[in-house]
C-alpha cells in the first residue's frame, strides 16, 4: 500500500479533494496549520454527514505520510479514521494521492491543524473509540519542551474525548518521551494501564519501519478509558512526575 510520494504544492479542491476536510471546517482547503479554529456554524461536527455513515471513530495525531492511517483504514473497515497533521505538505500530499484514486478506502479523512487546538471542537466527549499517538516529536531542547504533544492537560482532554472502553495507543522509540507520556496518561483519572502491545497489533508507521530495520527499541503501550467513580472529577490534577520507561511492546 505505501504510496507516499505525490504533489505537495497543489491545493486539494473539488471532488477529488475529499480526503481533506479543511474547507468544511475552516472555510478553505488552504486554511489550516497552527492557529485555526473551527467555524462555529459547522459545530457540532456532523461526522455522519461527512463520512456518509455513522461508525465508531478513531483519531491519529501526526499522521505525517499517512502510511499508518491508510493501512488502519483497510484493517479496521468498520471504523472511520480521522488524521490530524500540523504540516500542510503532508495533508495536501495525502489528499492529492488518495483523492483521485477510485480504490482508496473512503473511511478516512484528514485535517490540517494543530491537534491540541481542534480536538475538543472536532469530537464530542466520549465519541472516540481509539486515539493513536505514533512517534511524537521529542522536542529535545529544554525551551521547546512545552511543544511536546502529550502533556498532562492534553492527556485529560483525550480522556474526555474517548468513549468508555476506548483506548489511547502510544508508540515511541524515545524512552524518556514514552515515560513522560506514560506518566501523563497514568495521572489522568479514568485511564487504566499501561498495557503493552506488539508490532503486529497495528500497522507499522513510516518511522517505525526504519526503527524496526535498525533494531531500535520501540515502546508500545496503551491506556483504556474506564468509567470514573461516581462523584470523581475528570479534571483532577494530572501532574505526576515522569515514571520509569513504560514496557517495550
Ligand atoms: C516524528 S513525526 C512521526 C510521524 C509518524 N507518526 C510516524 O510514526 O512515522 C511526528 C509528526 O507529528 C506531527 N505533529 C507534531 N505536532 C503536532 C500537532 N500538535 N498536531 C498535529 N500534528 C502534529 C508532525 O508534523 C509530524 O508529522
Q: Where do the structural domains in the chain lie, given as residue ranges?
A: 15-225
How many residues are given for the chain?
A: 249
Instruction: Please answer whether residues 126 and 161 qualify as being in contact, where contact means their C-beta atoms are separated by less than 8 angstroms.
Output: yes
Name residues whose C-beta falls within 8 Å of residue 51's C-beta, 6 or more positions apart in sequence: 80, 107, 109
Q: What is the pLDDT of residue 245?
A: 56
Q: Which residues of the chain have pLDDT under 50?
A: 236-243
Q: What is the pLDDT of residue 248?
A: 62
Q: What is the pLDDT of residue 228?
A: 81
Q: What is the pLDDT of residue 238?
A: 43
Topology of the domain comprising 15-225: Rossmann fold (3.40.50)
For residue 199, give the 3-state DSSP assignment: helix
Residues 136, 219: Cα–Cα separation, whole Å: 12
Average pLDDT of the residues of the chain: 91
Q: What is the pLDDT of residue 227?
A: 93
Residues 31, 25: Cα–Cα separation, whole Å: 9
The pLDDT tens digits for 133-177 are: 999 998 877 888 888 888 999 999 999 999 999 999 999 999 999
> Is 28 part of the annotated catalytic residue set?
no
Residue 29 beta carbon below 6 angstroms from any ligand 1 atom? no
Question: Which residue, chain included where needed, has cell 502529550?
Answer: 150
Residue 207 beta carbon below 6 angstroms from any ligand 1 atom? yes
Q: What is the pLDDT of residue 243?
A: 44
Residue 188 beta carbon below 6 angstroms from any ligand 1 atom? no
Q: What is the DSSP letter of 28?
A: S
Q: What is the pLDDT of residue 149?
A: 87
How many Cβ atoms from other residues are within 10 Å of residue 3's Cβ?
Answer: 13
Please give the torsion angle defined by the CA atoms of residues 82, 163, 222 and 109, in that order, rounded to the nearest 10 degrees. 0
Catalytic-labelled residue, pool 46, 137, 153, 201? 137
Amino acid at each position: 500500500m505505501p504510496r507516499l510520494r505525490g504533489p505537495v504544492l497543489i491545493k486539494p479542491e473539488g471532488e477529488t479533494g475529499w480526503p481533506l476536510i479543511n474547507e468544511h471546517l475552516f472555510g478553505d482547503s488552504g486554511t489550516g496549520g497552527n492557529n485555526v479554529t473551527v467555524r462555529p456554524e459547522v459545530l457540532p461536527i456532523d461526522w455522519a454527514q461527512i463520512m456518509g455513515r455513522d461508525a465508531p471513530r478513531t483519531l491519529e495525531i501526526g499522521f505525517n505520510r499517512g502510511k499508518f492511517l491508510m493501512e488502519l483504514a483497510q484493517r479496521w473497515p468498520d471504523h472511520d479514521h480521522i488524521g490530524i497533521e500540523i504540516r500542510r505538505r503532508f495533508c495536501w500530499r495525502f489528499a492529492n494521492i488518495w483523492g483521485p484514486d477510485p480504490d482508496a478506502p473512503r473511511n478516512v479523512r484528514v485535517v490540517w491543524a494543530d491537534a491540541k487546538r481542534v480536538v475538543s471542537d472536532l469530537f464530542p466527549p466520549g465519541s472516540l473509540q481509539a486515539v493513536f499517538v505514533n512517534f511524537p516529536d521529542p522536542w529535545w531542547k529544554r525551551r521547546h519542551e512545552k511543544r511536546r504533544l502529550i502533556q498532562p492537560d492534553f492527556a485529560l482532554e483525550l480522556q474526555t474525548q474517548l468513549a468508555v472502553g476506548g483506548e489511547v495507543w502510544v508508540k515511541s522509540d524515545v524512552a524518556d518521551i514514552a515515560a513522560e507520556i506514560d506518566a501523563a496518561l497514568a495521572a489522568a483519572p479514568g485511564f487504566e494501564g499501561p498495557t503493552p502491545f506488539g508490532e503486529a497489533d497495528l500497522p507499522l508507521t513510516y518511522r517505525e519501519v526504519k526503527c524496526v530495520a535498525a533494531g531500535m527499541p520501540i515502546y508500545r503501550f496503551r491506556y483504556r478509558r474506564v468509567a470514573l467513580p461516581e462523584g470523581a472529577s475528570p479534571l483532577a490534577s494530572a501532574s505526576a512526575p515522569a515514571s520509569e520507561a513504560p514496557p517495550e511492546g
